[in-house]
């Protein structure tokens, strides 16, 4: 990696992979939820995530760049935390509490990723991409 553009494209592909991972994880969280309000919140977040995937793909298209096989290690780690927690056989109530905490971690991670990408897009004068992000 030699240029800011390459770093930017890498970042887009990284979070694209993260969003794909989250679609699966959010479906699992919705299915695991014992409370209807949590189930609904996870399902809504899943729909928003699917929309974000489309916007990220549009960003790459605008830049004339393909999506690659980048792996988002940050999101993968958060997903792995859930799998490890499940091995502890938590009660339904504790699983709900864990999933809410995990959702907060994911949102915090995403905010940092997208703020960085928007800053890079603006710095490189990719205003349409910045708007999509």
Going 42 to 43 to 49 to 51, the CA torsion angle's sign is: negative
pLDDT digits 0-9 by tens, 73-125: 999 999 999 999 999 999 999 999 999 999 999 999 999 999 999 999 999 99
The DSSP code sequence of 35-71 is: SHHHHHHHHHHHHHHHHHHHHHHHHHHHTT-------
d(CA 60, CA 15): 12
Asked whether residue 58 carries a pLDDT value surpassing 90, the answer given is yes
d(CA 29, CA 82): 10
Q: Which two tokens stand for residue 10?
A: 């890498």
Instruction: Give the model's pLDDT for residue 129.
Output: 98
d(CA 118, CA 88): 39
Instruction: Give the model's pLDDT for residue 69.
Output: 81
pLDDT digits 0-9 by tens, 15-47: 999 999 999 999 999 999 999 999 999 999 999
Instruction: Give the model's pLDDT for residue 20.
Output: 97
* 114 alpha carbon, distance to own chain's centre: 10
Instruction: Give the model's pLDDT for residue 79.
Output: 96
Q: What structural domains and CATH numbers belong to the chain?
A: 4-132 (1.20.1260.10)
In this structure, how many other beta carbons lie within 10 angstroms of the beta carbon of residue 112? 11
């Amino acid at each position: 990696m030699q240029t800011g553009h390459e770093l930017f494209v890498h970042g887009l592909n990284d979070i694209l992979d993260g969003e794909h991972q989250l679609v699966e994880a959010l479906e699992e969280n919705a299915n695991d939820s014992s409370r209807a309000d949590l189930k609904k919140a996870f399902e809504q977040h899943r729909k928003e995530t699917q929309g974000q995937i489309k916007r990220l793909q549009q960003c790459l298209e605008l830049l004339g760049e393909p999506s690659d096989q980048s792996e988002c290690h940050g999101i993968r780690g958060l997903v792995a935390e859930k799998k490890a927690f499940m091995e502890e056989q938590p009660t339904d109530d504790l699983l709900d509490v864990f999933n809410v905490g995990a959702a907060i971690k994911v949102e915090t991670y995403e905010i940092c990723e997208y703020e960085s990408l928007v800053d890079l897009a603006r710095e490189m004068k990719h205003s349409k991409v910045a708007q999509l992000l």
